[in-house]
Structure 1
Amino acid sequence: MIRDRPAERTKIIRQRILVNGIVQGVGFRPFVFNLARQLQLSGFVTNTSQGVVIELQGQRTLIDEFVQRLQKDKPPLSEIISLQRTDIPLQDDGNFRIIASVDSADNQTLISPDIAICDDCLREMRDPSDRRYRYPFINCTNCGPRFTIIKRIPYDRPNTSMAEFAMCEACQAEYEDPTNRRFHAQPNACARCGPHVWLETVGDNKELAREQAAIELLARYLLDGKIVAIKGLGGFHLAVDATNEQAVQRLRRRKNREQKPLAVMAPDLAVVKKLVFLDAAEQELLTAPQRPIVLLKKKPHLPVAEAVAPANQRLGVMLPYTPLHYLIFDELQSRLPENKVPLLVMTSANRSEEPIVIDNEEARKRLFDIADYLLLHNRAILIRADDSVVARFAGQTVFIRRSRGYVPRPVFLNTQSKASVLAVGGELKNTVCFSKGGRAFLSQHIGDLENLLANQFFEETIEHFADILQTTPQRIICDLHPAYFSTQWAESQNYAPLVKVQHHHAHMAACMAEWQWDEPAIGVILDGTGYGYDGTIWGGEILAGDFTTLERLACFKPLPIPGGEAAIKEPWRMAVSYLLAAFGEALPELPFLKDKPIALIRQLLEKKLNSPLTSSCGRLFDAAAVISGGRQHIYYEAQATIEFTQAVRTIDVAPLQFEADLPYIPFEPIIRNLAELAVEGTPIALLAARFHVTMASLLEAVTLKAVQKTGLKTVVLSGGVFQNEILLKLLNAFLQKHNLKVLTHRQTPPNDGGISLGQCAIGLKLLLAGKEEVSFLDRVSGEV
C-alpha cells in the first residue's frame, strides 16, 4: 500500500476530522487540544452544531496516532458515534488552538445528560483550603448540569441558564485554560460570581438565611420533622427525615400520596448497605454518574419509617448527585449521634400526577400547603427532569422511568436517514420522541396527561426538543385512542401528516428499535390497557410482524370490565367478572365475596353498562391477586399485582390447570383451579407462586404455537406486565430453551414510557417506505 512507504508516512498533510456523538460539555476539546500539542500537530478544534470539528496538520503517522488515541483515551463522559476524516489543503497554523463555536442549521451534535458531581469536585468542596469550599454549585467538565440548563445548541454558556452569571477573574482563567479541568465547563462558577442558595418560609416568603447558614438551618428543621422543598438539578424535591414516621405520614397527607412508595436518599454506600441487599450490578447502577433511583430488596429491621414503602419488599434508594445534597448530608451527620445515620425521603415536589416544580415562583405558589420551608437558588432550571428509576430483574437492568441522567442520550436506529418524525406517546407515563439522523431522542418522563399542568409540560417538552434538535418533523405519530390528550394534540397540528399507531404494536416496535431489529418477529405484549383496532381494550396480545406490518395472532379471551375505570382501582370487580365467567351463577365461597354487591356487578355485565371488553393480562393478574386473598382496593397503579408477586417465596411449584388454545387464550381453567385452592385455604404465597409459573408456562405454550404458525424464531417481550420480575425471568428462560431469540427492553421502559420510541420507529419506517399506515391483519376476529 502507498501508505506503507516511509516517505508517505512522514509526509506532512492536513486533515479535517468531524467527530459526532456526546462530545460537547464533557471535556472533549481540552483533551483534543492537549493530545494535539503533545504530538506536535498544528490546527484547531471547535464546536459546531454538526459536532466537533478538528483540523490537524503534521506527519501522517502522527495524525493516525492522534485518531487512535482519541478513540481509545477520550474523556470518560464522552461518546464517539462517528468520525469522518477528509484530506484538505495545507495551511500555515503555527500551533494548535481552540476557536469559538460555529453555529449551523443542520444539528448533528448530541447533548450530554445531567451528570452527578465527580470525585474531584467533591474533594475540593470538602477541602477548607480550596476556594470553592462548601460551594453548592461546584462543577467541572466531568460533572454537573447539562440538559436541564440548555436553551439551544451549541452547548456554550450564552445558550444556558448560566448566561446571566459573569465569571470572576479566577473562574474566567480556568474557563480559558485548555489544561484546566474547568476549561469551557459552561456552568463554571464560584461563590464570588455564581448562583447562591437561601432558605425562606412558606406563605410570607421571608428569607431566613443564606449559603452555609441556610444549609445549617435546613438540617435543623429536617431533624425536627419539618418538610422542606429543595431546589435541585431537574426540579424540586420534597424532603423529610426518612426515619421519622410522623413526618413521613404528614408528607403523604399533604402530597395526596396515600401508599405509593417514596424514594430515600442515603449519604453513601455504607449506609445503603444497612438498608437493603446489594449485589455488584446494583451497586454499579447506584453509583453510576446518572445516579438513578434503584429499587432494592429491603433488609429486615431497617432504620426507615414504615410509611416510606408500606407493604413493599423493595425500597427505592439513590445516592446524592449534586454538591448541595452532599452539603446537606454533611450538616445532618454533624448533628446526629455516632450511632445514627441521616436518611431523607426525596420525592418529586408536586401533588400526585402533576409535573415536578422547577421555578422559584412556581414553588411558592404550588407548594405553599405542602412544604414548611423552601430551599431556593437562582440558577434557572430550563427543562423538568424527574429522577430516573431502575431495577435489576432477571439479571438485567429494567427501566421503570427513564429521565434525569439518561435523557437526551438517543437510541440509535438501524438507519442513517436524516428524515425526522415526532411521536407523542400515550396518556400514562407519557414521553415524546423525535427522530433525526437515524437516532431516536426519547424525552424525559412527562407523566400522566390527566391535568392542565401535565398538558403544558407535554407541549413545553415538544417545543424544547424541537429547538435543541433544530428539526421540523415530516410526520407526527400518535396512539389510536381518540380520547388521549396526546392524540388530540397531534390531530390539532397541521404542519405534518398524521399517522396513528396501535398501542401494542408501539410496545413491540420500541423493543425492536432498541435492538436495531428490522426482521419480522413474534410479540408477546402484555399490559393493562391499550386501544385496539376493533375499539375494545387490548392488553394480552400475541402479535407478529415488523415496523410496517402487523398480525394479531391471539389474545386472552376478552371479558367485560364492570364499572370501567373503577375496576382498575377496585380489582375485586375484575375478580368477580372472571369468577362469573368461569363458574357461572354458582360462585365459590371466597372470603372477599361476602360483603361485595355481586348482584350489582351481574346487572352491569348483563346490561353491558359501562363494562367494556378487555383482553388485558394486567387485569387477569389483578383478579388472581384478589381471588388468592390479596388486595381488593389499590392506591397506586398495579399495587395488587406488585404485592401478589412479592408474596412468592419459591418458583419450584407445579402450574395450575391451563389450556393453550388459539386465537382466544382461555382463562377459565386457571381461574377455577386457583379459586378452588383458595377456598381450601391454600396460603397466598403458594397460590401466587403457582399462578406465576402457570402464566409463564401458558405463554410459553402459546408462543410455541405462534412460532409453528409463522416460522418466526424471534420473540419480543414488552408491555408493563414485564416489569414483573418473576414472569420476565421464567418466560425468558422457557423460551430460550427452545433456541428462540428473545428481545427484552434494555434502554427504555417496557411500560408506556417507551411507546413513543415504538411510534417513532414505526413512523420513520413508514415514511421511508412511502406508506401512509401499517398493514394490519386480525387473525383473532377477522381482517381489518
Structure 2
Amino acid sequence: MPILKRLHITIQGAVQGVGFRPFIYRLATELGLVGWVNNFAGGVAIEVEGSQTQLQAFLLQIYKELPPHASIQSLETSFLAPVGYKQFEIRASTGGENTALILPDIATCADCLREIFDKCDRRYLYPFTNCTHCGPRFSIITALPYDRANTTMQKFEMCDRCQAEYHHPLNRRFHAQLNACAECGPHLELWNQDGHVLTSHYQALQQAVEEIRKGKIVAIKGLGGFHLVVDARHQQAVTKLRYCKQRAKPFALMYPSLQLIKAHCEVSNLETQLLLSPQAPIVLLRRKFKSGMAIAPAVAPDNPYLGVMLPYTPLHHLLMSQLGFPVVATSGNLTDEPICTDEREAIQYLSNIATVFLIHNRPITRPIDDSVVRVIMERELLLRRARGYAPLPIAINLSPTIQQPQSKLLAVGAHFKNTIAFSLSQQVFVSQHIGDLATVAALKAFNQALADFQQLYQLQPLTIACDAHPDYVSTQFAQNSGLPTIPVQHHYAHVLSYMAENDLLRNENSILGIAWDGTGYGLDGTIWGGEFLQIQPLRSLTSDPETPFQRVAHLRTFRLPGGEKAIKEPRRVAIGLLYEIAGDALFTMNDLAPVQAFNAQELRILWTMLQRNINTAITSSAGRLFDAIAAIIGLRQYTQFEGQAAMELEFAIAELNTDDCYSFEITTIANSPLIIDWMPTVQGVLADLSCELSQGYISAKFHNTLVEMMVVVAQQIGAEQVVLTGGCFQNKYLIERTIQRLTQESFHPYWHQQVPPHDGGIALGQIVAALHVI
C-alpha cells in the first residue's frame, strides 16, 4: 500500500470568480484525492492527501488544465503529516490579508449565450444568465474573498434548481457565486422619465426595443453603469443625443453581429479577436465609406474611424438580436461627468435626454466605462483601460536592492484621464478610467475609487505620489491629505509607466524616453510636452533619487497667449508660434487663417500680451505644436475636446503616401539639452500654403518631419532602446512611422499595450518613481 502524504498548497493570482474551486474539486476527485479547497482573502488554499504519484499528477494538472480566465502568480507547497481526510470538499472562505486578484467583468460565454436563445432551456431570454466562466465581477464585488455574500447578488436567494446546479460537481455552475434564473434572480423594468414602472421582465426589453426603433433615446442599465442608446442610422435622433449630452467627441457603436461590422468597417484578424474577446472592448476601426453603410454622419463627424463593440452581456445580446441594426451606445452621463450607475441617479441626471429607462434591480458597486482599444503595428493599444481589463494589476520587477513597502503607497494620477494606483507587494493595482477631474461629480468618482481600493485591499497608505503640477486637483488632494507626498515630474512618470508595463525596470542600459503630449509641469516651471528623457538603469538611482532622469532634448519653446485658454483655441497657439518667426509683422499677415480668426481688437490684445509677456505661458509641447499647424493650414481654430485638432490633422493625411519632410535644426548648447528648432518646419508649411498645396500633403510632411526629429535625436543621444509615450502617441500615423524609422536605423522602439500612453498611465509611473525615492 502506498505511503499517504498531505500536501498544502497556497495559490495567488486570478483564482477567484473564475471557477477555480470547482476545477480543483473535479481534479482532486478524478485523481482519487481527499481534502479540501477554499477561498481566502489572498487567493485559494488547498489540502490534498494521497500518494506521491497522485500528488505530483495533481500539481501538474493544475497548470495544464487551468480554467479559461484563471492565472497563477504564485504557487507555494508544503508537505505535512496526513490527518486522514475522508472525502474532498469545498470549505467556507476565510479571511487574511487581501491580496487576491479581483477579476474584471467578463463577456457572456458561448454556453450561456446558447442557453438564452434556446427555447427549451429554462434560462431562455433571461438577461442575467451567467456561469463560472462569464458575467460581472469587479462591478458588483463589495469585499474579498469573492463569495456571493460579498457581492450585490447577496439579496437574491437561489431557488431550488439554482441551488442544485450550485452544488453539482459536474455542472459548470458548480459554486458559481452569481448563479440565478428568472425565478430567483434580478429582473428588468421599464421606467418613464418620472421613475414610474411601465412594464417589467422581457416585456420591458421588448418595449425598449420599440422605442429605439421609433428613433427615441433609451437609457439602459448595463454592467458598470448606464448607456444612452439610439438608432445609429437616425441622423435626427443622434443629433439630438449629441446636443442633449453636450458631447463633441465621436459616439461608440454597438453592432448586432461581426458580419455587419465587417460590412461597414475594415477588420483585421487581431481586431476580430479583440471584438470577440472576453474583454469585448470598443475597437477603433477604419470605415468602408464605399460600403453603402447607413450610419448617421452625426455619429462620428469627419472621422474615418468608428468605435465599435459587440454585445457583451445577455441583456445586450437580447436587445441587439431584436434590433438587428447598429446603435449608439454611449456612456450614460453628461460630458466630463462620471457614468450613472443607479436608476434614481439616472432619472435625476438623464431624464432630459432619455425617453424611457430600461433598468434592473442588481446594484452596481462602482462605475466602469467601456474600454477602448486600437491596433498599432499588429498589437493592441489600450486607449481607455476599464471594463474587461481593470482592476488586474501590473506586475513590477524592481531592482533587488530596492525594498518595496507593503500596502503603503498610493498614486493619485494626473488631472486629465485620471486613474489612481496602489502598490501591493510586487504588483500595482491601477483603477478603472475615472476621467477628467474638472467637476464636482468627477471628484466624487475619484474619492469613491480611492475608498473602493482601500476597502477591497485593506490599504492604508503612508505616502502619496502625485503629479508635480501644483494646480492639479489630484495634487491638491495629496497635499491636503496630511500624509507625506512625493511629487513626480509628469513626463518621467509617462516613461516609467511604459517601463513598468513592459518589464524594463531592471534594464542594464540607459533608455531614451520620448514623452510627447499637451501639458506637463516642467522642472523649470514651464509647460513641457516635447521631451526626450534619458533614464539611467534604475538600480543606480538609489544613491541619488533626486536626479532620476536627464532632460537631454526638447522642442523649441514658444509662448501661449492666454495660457490655459489657448488649450481650447488652436488659433491662439498658432499666434504664439508664428510670433516667434515673424514678430510684430505677424499682425499684418491677414492672409493667415489664425490671424483671420480674430477681430482687430482681439489682435491688439494678443500683440500686447506677447510684447509684454502678460499671461503667456512658455511651452515645449508637441501637442500644442499639432494644434498650431492645424490652425495655420485652416483645419481648426477652436476645439471642443482634447486632441481634436491633432486628430483632424492626422485624418487629413487619409491614404496619401509620401516620404517628403520639412527641414528643422538641432541646436547644441554646452551642458544643456539639445533644442529641436521647428522654425524651418513652420516656414516650410507657410511656403507650401502659399503654393496652395493640399492640407493632407502638408500634414503628411509635418508628421514625417516630427518622426525625423525623433530619429536624429536618438542618433545623437545614442541610446539603443527608445520608449514612445504620452498622448501624442495615440496618433496611428505618427507612432507607426516612428516605429518603422527607428527600426530602420537599428534602434529598438517600444510602445504601450496594456496601459494607455496618455495620462491614464501616469499613476503607474508615479508608483514606480516613488518606490525608488522611498
Alpha-carbon separation, structure 2, partners of 1:738 and 1:417: 38
- When normalised by structure 1's length, the TM-score is 0.93
Pick from 20, 24, 28: which aligns with 1:32? 24
2:392 is the alignment partner of 1:381 = no
Residues of 1 paired with 2:480 and 2:374: CA distance?
Answer: 38
Deviation at 1:418, TM superposition (A): 5.4
Give per-residue Cα distances to partners, 1:151-181, cap 9 Å, x unaligned.
1100001111011111111111111222211
Any idea what the Cα deviations from partners look like across 1:105-151, whole Å, max 9, x if unmatched?
A: x1221111000111100110111111111111100000000001011
- 1:591 deviates by 4.3
Q: Separation in 2 of the partners of 1:667 and 1:148?
A: 47
Distance change (3 Å), C-alpha of 1:418 and 1:25: farther
1:543-692 equivalence runs, <5 A? 543-546=533-536, 548=545, 549-587=548-586, 589-597=591-599, 598-648=603-653, 649-662=655-668, 663-692=674-703
Q: 2:720 aligned with 1:713, yes or no?
A: yes
1:540 aligns with 2:525: no
CA distance in 1: counterparts of 2:147 and 2:632, whole angstroms: 59
Q: Check whether the contact 1:41–1:56 (CA below 8 A) recurs between aligned residues.
A: yes
Q: Does the 8 A contact of 2:584 with 2:607 survive in 1?
A: no
Indicate yes or no: 2:232 matched with 1:230: no
Asked if the contact 2:574/2:594 (under 8 Å) is kept, the reply is no
**1:527 corresponds to 2:534:** no
The SS at the match of 1:190 is coil
Alignment of 1:6-25 (within 5 A): 11-25=3-17
What corresponds to 1:278 in structure 2?
Answer: 267
Match of 1:502 among 489, 494, 516: 489
Of stretches 404-413 and 79-88 in structure 1, the one that deviates more from structure 2 is 79-88
SS of the counterpart of 2:616? coil
* Alignment pair present for 1:757 and 2:764: yes
Measure the CA separation in 2 of the matches of 1:276 and 1:433: 36
Given candidates 66, 76, 96, the residue that maps to 2:88 is 96
Aligned residue in 1 for 2:211: 221
1:186 matches 2:177:
yes
Structure 2 contact 275–283 (Cα < 8 Å) conserved: yes
Report the AA paired with residue 739 of structure 2: N
Q: How big is the shift at 1:417?
A: 4.2
Provide the residue aligned with 1:695 in structure 2: 706
- Structure 1 counterpart of 2:48, one-letter code: L
Match for residue 542 of structure 2? none
**Alpha-carbon shift at residue 61 of structure 1 (Å):** 1.9
Q: How many Å separate the matches in 1 of 2:593 and 2:434?
A: 40
Does the 8 Å contact 1:402/1:444 carry over to 2? yes
Q: Is the 8 A contact 2:264 2:288 kept in 1?
A: yes
Aligned to 1:196: 187
Look up the equivalent residue of 1:630 and give its one-letter code.
L
Work out which of the residue numbers 167, 171, 178 in structure 1 matches 2:162: 171
After superposition, what is the alpha-carbon deviation per residue over 1:337-372, rounded to whole angstroms, capped at 9, x for unaligned?
xxxxx1110000010000000011111111111111
**Equivalent residue, structure 2, for 1:113:** 104
Structure 1 position 572, deviation (Å): 1.4
Provide the secondary structure at the position in 2 that maps to 1:685.
Answer: helix
Whether the 8 Å contact between 2:105 and 2:387 is mirrored in structure 1 is yes
Note the 1:319-468 alignment, pairs <5 A.
Answer: 319-333=310-324, 342-415=325-398, 417=404, 419-420=406-407, 421-468=409-456
Report the CA distance between 1:553 and its aligned residue: 1.4
Give, in angstroms, the shift of residue 255 of structure 1.
0.4
Counterpart Cα distance in 2 of 1:552 and 1:151: 44
One-letter code of the match for 1:504?
A: H
1:753 Cα deviation after fit:
0.5
Structure 1 unaligned spans of 5+: 1-6, 334-341, 768-784
Alpha-carbon separation, structure 1, partners of 2:474 and 2:764: 14
Counterpart of 1:397 in structure 2: which amino acid?
A: E
Q: Give 1:651 deviation, angstroms.
A: 4.0
Larger mean CA deviation between 379-388 and 723-732 belongs to 723-732
Corresponding residue for residue 298 of structure 1: 287
Query: In structure 2, what is the Cα distance between the partners aligned to 1:50 and 1:517?
Result: 27
Alpha-carbon distance in 1 for matches of 2:82, 2:350: 62
| Aligned equivalent of 2:306, options 315, 329, 350 | 315
Answer yes or no: is the 8 Å Cα contact 1:431–1:444 preserved in 2: yes
Change (3 A) 1:623 1:65: same
Report the Cα distance in structure 2 between the residues aligned to 1:384 and 1:90, rounded to whole angstroms: 47
Give the 3-state SS of the residue equivalent to 2:330 in structure 1.
Answer: strand
Distance 2:523 2:597 in 1: 38
The answer on whether the counterparts of 1:651 and 1:693 sit within 8 Å (CA) in structure 2 is no
Aligned to 1:511: 498
Q: Is the 8 A contact 2:572 2:594 kept in 1?
A: no
1:59 pairs with one of 51, 60, 64: 51
- Identity across matched positions, percent: 44
Whole-angstrom distance in 2 between the partners of 1:739 and 1:43? 57
The size of the alignment, in residue pairs, is 743
Contact 1:654 1:693 in 2 (8 A): yes
Aligned-partner SS, 1:660: strand
Q: How does 1:234-273 map to 2 (within 5 A)?
A: 234-257=224-247, 259-273=248-262
2:495, 2:725 within 8 Å by CA — same for their partners in 1?
yes
Q: Give yes or no for contact 1:182–1:188 (8 Å, CA) kept in 2.
A: yes
SS of match in other structure, 1:302: coil
Equivalence for 1:480: 468
Question: What is the CA–CA distance in structure 1 between the aligned matches of 2:643 and 2:276, rounded to whole Å?
Answer: 29
Separation in 2 of the partners of 1:653 and 1:728? 15
Q: Tell me whether 729-738 or 557-566 shows the greater mean CA deviation.
A: 729-738
Name which of structure 1's ranges 755-764 and 575-584 shifts more when overlaid on structure 2. 575-584
1:74 and 2:85 are equivalent in the alignment: no
Return the offset for 1:623: 1.0
Deviations 1:599-620 (A, max 9, x none): 3322221122221111100000
Residue from 107, 124, 134 that aligns with 2:115: 124
So what's the TM-score if we normalise by structure 2? 0.94
- CA apart distance, 1:11: 4.1
Which segment drifts farther, 409-418 or 351-360? 409-418
Give the Å deviation of 1:592.
4.7
Matched letter for residue 4 of structure 2: I
Give the Cα separation in 2 of the matches to 1:442 and 1:562: 36
Query: Alpha-carbon deviation of 1:183?
Result: 1.6
Pick from 76, 79, 86 the counterpart of residue 87 of structure 1.
79
Aligned letter for 2:578? L
- Of 195, 198, 202 in structure 2, the residue corresponding to residue 205 of structure 1 is 195
Give the 3-state SS of the residue equivalent to 1:147 in structure 2.
coil
**Structure 1 residue 419 displacement after superposition:** 2.2
What letter corresponds to residue 567 of structure 1 in structure 2? Answer: A
3-state SS of paired residue (2:112)? helix
Cα deviation per residue 1:469-527 (whole Å; 9 max; x = unaligned)?
12222321011111111111111212x42111111111011001111212332111000
Further displaced range: 512-521 or 525-534: 512-521
SS in 2 for 1:742: strand
Task: Answer yes or no: is the 8 Å Cα contact 1:583–1:672 preserved in 2.
Answer: no
Contact residue 419 and residue 474 of structure 1 kept, 8 A = no
Tell me the alpha carbon deviations over residues 177-207 of structure 1, each in whole angstroms, 9 at most, x when there is no partner. 22211122221111111111110110x2221
- Rounded to whole Å, the distance in 2 between the matches of 1:273 and 1:50 is 43
Deviations 1:545-582 (A, max 9, x none): 25541111121111111112222211011112212212
Match of 1:378, as an amino acid? N
Cα separation, 1, equivalents of 2:68 and 2:375: 24
